[in-house]
């Protein structure tokens, strides 16, 4: 019963049950974020770097009058950095934190799909070892034999802000 | 239909605080003995709305307290009681108590119930007839109702008022009716709660009560029916005339409405038994009925408040309707211009360039006007900050045994709300100082031939893009000799230094100059003059002092009108543009080789006339790229931050412009050395430098390096 239901969701792509997730590509893997948190998707544009911040914080942009920080997710996950290409996009997300909602952007290789994923179809992530702490993963979902890593973006980005990597002396 | 009343809580607090401010200022102006009826009415109304509101939100402690105060005021209003100084003082204390209670409730803390109860008892005692609020706590006697003036004669009416159950839904409140009725004469109200169903069946929005009112007075039937005119269709009303010889004891109106349940223990003994019972029922009722459950709501919002610590930055402002109208007009204009430009763009040919330029000019004009008007929304008259001073001066001068008249002028000068909030404490400190140190005791003044009543003058006005606040007194002025000696003692100046009077006076702003007892000021302000100066500097303002010994002193504070806009100098470093606040720039110069000196390897100094200024290489502090690493012929922006000069080494100086400050924190976090960001004309983001932060950052960097090299 459960499987049938889930297949329905997959086929229809949208149903009252389950949450919709926007997925994006990062170094060949597909990651998902809750679509209700996505404010907009925009192309990569010049940013103003913020001094003394970790390299994965690319800088800030002007999003219709508000200053929005942009994070490079590849660098955040310590994946190999690549040159930004035509499919490189910035996903602007609404992040919930202690001080209320903030707007932040993540740079990813490309956006992929929108899927419906049932809460109970999310499997707990095994310990990955190094790159991505399991803290940041809400769960794993399987769709069409593909694995989708559903991220806990609140935790990921809030902790990314706090991370003090700014070494004052570098030379 | 359930209403979440908690959403109105904030508004209630705001209005209550406003009401308290009004009460306070009116109380201070009240002439003892010959009180102005209007003032008493104003105070009464303020108290009344606080009582009503707090009842609605289930803040029973506040409601019951206010009720006693209100009763007292009501008697004054009716001329049954004289306005005496002790009464006024007690009411001022009550205002403080209420303010504390509301503050505690707002921030989710516990109310200081003991203090409140104490003041409430004093109020009650005063109400009982004792004109003096003494400290004897034992004599609380609820039975002595005979003190109430009795109405000797009179015909009156017996009124049976039975509202239909939907009375509250029509927005009517029996309390108001009774109050209106009590304006016509004296009334005694009895509530009939026989219609009250069991708890389970109670709908808190329905009215189950009916009332019997004995009205004594000379109003005729039409007048009484007039009072009930609004509820005519929603009630059964019966009027019977009462015989002439009946005597009636006056009892203050104790009205009970299920939703607004302000009746309390303190009022209950004064009320006939059925009312007391109904009050208890009514007060208990909301706890059982889920739709409107004030205690629960309160709890919930307290939890919410704990999760998000109270921030002074948010909150609301009241904006005059004229300002909003002006904005709407302006947006209308903007829309018209935009559609005009749109039309022009549809089939644009070169011969229409002229019109295009005109359109763009108009657009610019409208945009600027819109910007100015939006800024004005944040502006509040400075009276908001000045209002607390009559009370402060009144209290302090009494305590110090000084005779002071406070003069306020320019209260309508407008100022940004944020600036206003931050200038309050420094102003209080300056006023306290003036009262404490400046103004002499009456006998000293008399011996000097000065008028016995000293004058303290607070004045505000606009000058250029600034607001100027002056605090002047006709007291003794600053004691130059004493300051000088203290400065020598503290090692700020040398004994042999020749200083002008102004220079000496400025010494009081030095950190560490304030004496220890000033710093430990218990009242929570805890600021010395250096902190006053720092606060003002944080607002990009300045303070100066003018003092004539024996004649008085004047402190002048200059503040920018708003914190949202800043005059900035654009500088370039590598491919990035940064903004240096113009106020902190002393000068900009081209570096001359012979003036560069270096201490050790990392500290470079620049000789600027007779001073040595540390050079701060921005690219090193920020770890960014730059074009020019050689100091020679480079540009140095000499700035002052945190009382220290520094030269910021940059690649290029660009233009100067006004920039709108955008917060980095709202979506990101505070970054050391930056005070915010702004958006340049081309839509890119430029970062605004925080000069004191930058100086600190640079010092830390040098220290770390020194430590690192020492370790190596």
pLDDT of residue A21: 92
From the list A48, A99, A170, the residue facing B684 with the nearest CB is A48
Nearest-angstrom CA–CA distance, B506 and B555: 11
Of the options 3.30.565.10, 3.40.630.30, 1.10.1270.20, 3.40.50.300, the CATH number for the domain spanning B403-560: 3.30.565.10
Where is average pLDDT lowest: B201-210, B458-467, B654-663? B201-210
Question: Which of B469, B475, B496, B370 is closest to B415 using CA atoms?
Answer: B469
Token pair, residue A128, equals 């990955």
Where is average pLDDT lowest: A13-17, B360-364, B561-565? A13-17
* A102 and chain B in contact, CB less than 8 A: yes
Confirm whether A168 is domain-assigned. Answer: no
CB A63 within 8 A of CB A94: no
pLDDT of residue B245: 42
Nearest-angstrom CA–CA distance, B152 and B144: 18
The arrangement of secondary structure in B565-711, i.e. its CATH architecture, is Roll (2.30)
- In this structure, whether the domain defined by B156-288 belongs to CATH 3.40.1160.10 is answered with no
Confirm whether A171 is domain-assigned. Answer: no
Cβ atoms < 10 Å from Cβ of B408: 16
Cα of B667 to nearest chain A Cα, Å: 5
Rounded mean pLDDT of B24-41? 77
Q: Is B365 among the residues known to form the active site? A: no
pLDDT of residue B61: 82
Say whether B621 and A51 touch across the interface (CB within 8 A): yes
Band of pLDDT at residue B12, cut at 50, 70 and 90: confident
Confirm whether A120 is domain-assigned. Answer: yes
pLDDT of B198 strictly over 70: yes
pLDDT of residue B292: 39
**What CATH number has the domain spanning B5-140+294-307?**
1.20.120.160
pLDDT of residue B580: 93
pLDDT of B307 strictly over 70: no
CB B177 within 8 A of CB B231: yes
Interface test with A, best of B616, B618, B668 (most A CBs within 10 A): B668
A18: phi > 0 → left, psi -120 to 50 → alpha, else beta; which? left
* B545 and chain A in contact, CB less than 8 A: no
pLDDT of residue A111: 93
pLDDT of B535 strictly over 50: yes
pLDDT of residue A91: 95
Question: Which of B174, B314, B292, B312 is closest to B237 using CA atoms?
Answer: B174
- Domain count along chain A: 1
* A67 and chain B in contact, CB less than 8 A: yes
Question: A93 or B292, which is more confident?
Answer: A93
pLDDT of B693 strictly over 90: no
Q: Which helix (H) or strand (E) holds B362?
A: helix B353-377
Cα of B700 to nearest chain A Cα, Å: 9
Say whether B621 and A48 touch across the interface (CB within 8 A): no
pLDDT of residue B153: 41
Q: Is A139 helix (H, G, I), strand (E, B) or coil?
A: strand
Say whether A51 and B674 touch across the interface (CB within 8 A): yes
Band of pLDDT at residue B514, cut at 50, 70 and 90: low
Cα of A146 to nearest chain B Cα, Å: 34
pLDDT of B200 strictly over 70: yes
Confirm whether A169 is domain-assigned. Answer: no
The C-alpha angle B350, B354, B356, rounded to 5 degrees, equals: 85
Say whether A52 and B669 touch across the interface (CB within 8 A): no
Q: In what order do the strands lie in the sheet with B585-590?
A: B585-590, B635-641, B644-650, B611-617, B603-608, B596-599
CB B212 within 8 A of CB B192: yes
Cβ atoms < 10 Å from Cβ of B415: 23
Say whether B674 and A50 touch across the interface (CB within 8 A): yes
Band of pLDDT at residue B637, cut at 50, 70 and 90: very high
pLDDT of residue B151: 38
pLDDT of residue A131: 58
Token pair, residue A133, equals 């702490």
| Pairing of the two strands B635-641 and B644-650 | antiparallel
* A62 and chain B in contact, CB less than 8 A: yes
Number of residues that this document lists for chain A: 171
pLDDT of residue B282: 42
From the list A48, A66, A170, the residue facing B667 with the nearest CB is A66
ipTM value for the complex: 0.81
Nearest-angstrom CA–CA distance, B318 and B20: 17
Give the highest mean pLDDT range of B94-98, B153-157, B488-492. Answer: B94-98
From the list A60, A167, A170, the residue facing B685 with the nearest CB is A60
Rounded mean pLDDT of B482-505? 77
Rounded mean pLDDT of B137-158? 46
A110: which strand partners?
A: A25
* A164 and chain B in contact, CB less than 8 A: no
pLDDT of B385 strictly over 70: yes
pLDDT of residue B569: 93
* A70 and chain B in contact, CB less than 8 A: no
For chain A, helix (H) and strand (E) counts, in that order, are: 3, 10
pLDDT of residue A107: 94
What is the residue range of A100's domain?
Answer: 2-162
Confirm whether A167 is domain-assigned. Answer: no
- Cα B682–chain centre separation: 39
pLDDT of residue B469: 92
CATH of residue A55's domain is: 2.40.50.180
In chain A, positions 41-60, which contact chain B (CB-CB < 8 Å)? 46-53, 59-60
B79-119 residue pLDDT tens: 777 778 788 888 888 888 888 888 888 887 777 778 888 88
Backbone torsions φ then ψ of B704, nearest 5 degrees:
-65, -40
pLDDT of B515 strictly over 60: no
pLDDT of residue A19: 85
Q: What is B635-675 written as a DSSP string?
A: EEEEEEETTEEEEEEESEEEEEEEEE-B-STTTS---TTEE
* B399 and chain A in contact, CB less than 8 A: no
* B572 and chain A in contact, CB less than 8 A: no
Domain limits, chain B? 5-140+294-307, 156-288, 321-377, 403-560, 565-711
* A94 and chain B in contact, CB less than 8 A: no
- In chain A, what residues touch B669 (CB-CB under 8 Å)? 161-162
- Cα A83–chain centre separation: 19
Confirm whether A170 is domain-assigned. Answer: no
Cβ atoms < 10 Å from Cβ of B409: 13
B540-597 residue pLDDT tens: 788 888 888 888 889 999 887 767 778 889 999 988 999 998 888 889 999 888 888 8
pLDDT of A59 strictly over 80: yes
Residue whose token pair is 């110069």:
B589
Band of pLDDT at residue B184, cut at 50, 70 and 90: confident
B73-88 residue pLDDT tens: 888 877 777 778 788 8
From the list A61, A167, A171, the residue facing B685 with the nearest CB is A61
From the list B623, B664, B686, the residue facing A52 with the nearest CB is B623
Cα of B685 to nearest chain A Cα, Å: 6
A68-106 residue pLDDT tens: 999 999 888 888 888 888 889 999 999 988 777 899 999
Rounded mean pLDDT of B155-159? 75
Rounded mean pLDDT of A100-118? 90
Percent of chain A with pLDDT over 90: 32
Q: Is B48 among the residues known to form the active site? A: yes
Say whether A61 and B673 touch across the interface (CB within 8 A): no
- In chain A, what residues touch B677 (CB-CB under 8 Å)? 48, 60, 67
pLDDT of residue B37: 78
pLDDT of residue B149: 41
């Amino acid at each position: 019963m459960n499987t049938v239901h889930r297949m329905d969701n997959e086929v229809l792509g949208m149903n009252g049950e389950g949450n919709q997730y926007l997925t994006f590509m990062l170094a060949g893997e597909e990651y998902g974020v809750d679509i209700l948190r996505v404010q907009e998707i925009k192309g990569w544009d010049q940013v103003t770097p913020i001094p003394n911040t970790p390299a994965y914080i690319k800088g800030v942009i002007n999003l219709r009058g508000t200053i929005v920080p942009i994070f490079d997710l590849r660098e955040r996950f310590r994946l190999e950095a690549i040159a930004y290409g035509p499919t490189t996009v910035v996903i602007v997300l609404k992040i919930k934190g202690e001080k209320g909602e903030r707007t932040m952007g993540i740079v990813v290789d490309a956006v992929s799909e929108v899927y419906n994923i049932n809460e109970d179809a999310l499997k707990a992530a095994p310990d990955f070892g190094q790159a991505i702490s399991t803290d940041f993963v809400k769960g794993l979902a399987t769709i069409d034999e593909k694995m989708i890593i559903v991220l806990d973006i609140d935790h990921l980005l809030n902790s990314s802000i706090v991370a003090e990597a700014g070494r004052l002396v570098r030379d | 239909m359930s209403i979440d009343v908690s959403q109105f809580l904030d508004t209630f607090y705001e209005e209550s605080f406003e009401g308290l401010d009004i009460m306070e200022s009116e109380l201070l102006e009240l002439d003892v003995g010959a009180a102005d009826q209007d003032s008493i009415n104003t105070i009464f109304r303020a108290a009344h709305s606080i009582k009503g509101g707090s009842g609605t939100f289930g803040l029973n402690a506040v409601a019951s307290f206010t009720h006693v105060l209100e009763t007292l005021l009501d008697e004054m209003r009716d001329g049954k009681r004289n306005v005496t100084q002790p009464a006024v003082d007690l009411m001022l204390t009550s205002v403080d108590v209420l303010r504390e209670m509301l503050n505690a409730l707002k921030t989710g803390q516990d109310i200081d119930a003991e203090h409140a109860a104490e003041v409430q008892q004093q109020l009650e005692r005063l109400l009982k007839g004792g004109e003096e609020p003494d400290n004897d706590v034992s004599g609380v006697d609820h039975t002595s109702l005979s003190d109430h003036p009795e109405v000797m004669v009179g015909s009156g009416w017996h009124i049976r008022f039975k509202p239909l159950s939907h009375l509250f839904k029509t927005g009517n409140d029996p309390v108001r009716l009774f109050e209106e009725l009590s304006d016509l004469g004296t009334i005694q109200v009895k509530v009939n709660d026989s219609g009250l169903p069991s708890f389970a069946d109670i709908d808190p929005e329905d009215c189950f009560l009916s009332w019997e009112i004995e009205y004594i007075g000379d109003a005729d039937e039409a007048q009484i029916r007039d009072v009930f005119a609004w509820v005519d269709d929603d009630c059964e009303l019966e009027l019977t005339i009462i015989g002439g010889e009946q005597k009636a004891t006056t009892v203050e109106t104790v009205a009970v409405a299920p939703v607004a349940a302000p009746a309390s223990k303190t009022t209950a003994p004064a009320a006939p038994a059925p009312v007391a019972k109904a009050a208890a029922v009514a007060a208990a009722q909301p706890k059982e009925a889920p739709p409107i459950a004030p205690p629960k709501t309160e709890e919930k919002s307290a939890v919410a408040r704990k999760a998000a610590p109270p921030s002074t930055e948010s909150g609301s402002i009241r904006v005059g309707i004229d300002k909003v109208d002006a904005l709407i007009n302006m947006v209308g204009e903007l829309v018209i211009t935009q559609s005009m430009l749109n039309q022009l763009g549809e089939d644009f040919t070169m011969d229409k360039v002229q019109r295009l330029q005109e359109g763009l000019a108009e657009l610019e004009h409208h945009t600027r006007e819109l910007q100015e008007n939006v800024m004005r929304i944040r502006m509040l008259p400075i009276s908001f900050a000045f209002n607390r001073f009559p009370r402060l001066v009144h209290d302090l001068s009494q305590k110090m045994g000084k005779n002071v008249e406070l003069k306020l002028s320019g209260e309508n000068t407008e100022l940004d709300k944020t600036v206003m909030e931050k200038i309050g404490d420094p102003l209080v400190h300056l006023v306290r100082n003036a009262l404490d140190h400046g103004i002499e005791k009456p006998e000293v003044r008399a011996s000097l031939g000065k008028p016995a009543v000293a004058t303290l003058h607070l004045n505000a006005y606009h000058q250029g893009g600034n607001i100027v606040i002056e605090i002047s007194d006709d007291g003794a002025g600053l004691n130059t000799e004493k300051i000088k000696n203290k400065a020598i003692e503290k090692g700020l100046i040398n004994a042999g230094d020749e200083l002008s009077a102004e220079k000496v006076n400025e010494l009081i702003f030095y950190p560490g100059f304030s004496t220890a007892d000033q710093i430990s000021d218990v009242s929570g302000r805890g600021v010395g003059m250096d902190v006053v100066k720092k606060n003002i500097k944080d607002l990009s303002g300045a303070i100066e002092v003018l003092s004539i010994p024996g004649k008085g002193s004047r402190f002048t504070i200059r503040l920018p009108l708003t914190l949202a806009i800043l005059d900035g100098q654009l500088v370039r470093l590598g491919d990035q543009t940064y903004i240096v606040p113009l106020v902190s720039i002393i000068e900009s110069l081209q570096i001359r080789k012979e003036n560069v000196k270096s201490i050790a390897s990392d500290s470079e100094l620049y000789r600027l006339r007779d001073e040595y200024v540390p050079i701060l290489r921005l690219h090193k502090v920020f770890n960014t790229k730059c074009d020019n690493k050689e100091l020679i012929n480079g540009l140095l922006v000499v700035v002052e931050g945190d009382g220290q000069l520094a030269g910021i080494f940059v690649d290029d100086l660009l233009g100067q412009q006004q920039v709108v400050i955008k917060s980095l924190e709202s979506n990101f976090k505070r970054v050391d050395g930056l005070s915010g960001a702004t958006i340049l004309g081309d839509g890119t983001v430029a970062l605004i430098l925080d000069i004191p932060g930058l100086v600190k950052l640079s010092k830390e960097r040098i220290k770390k390096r020194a430590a690192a090299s020492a370790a190596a």
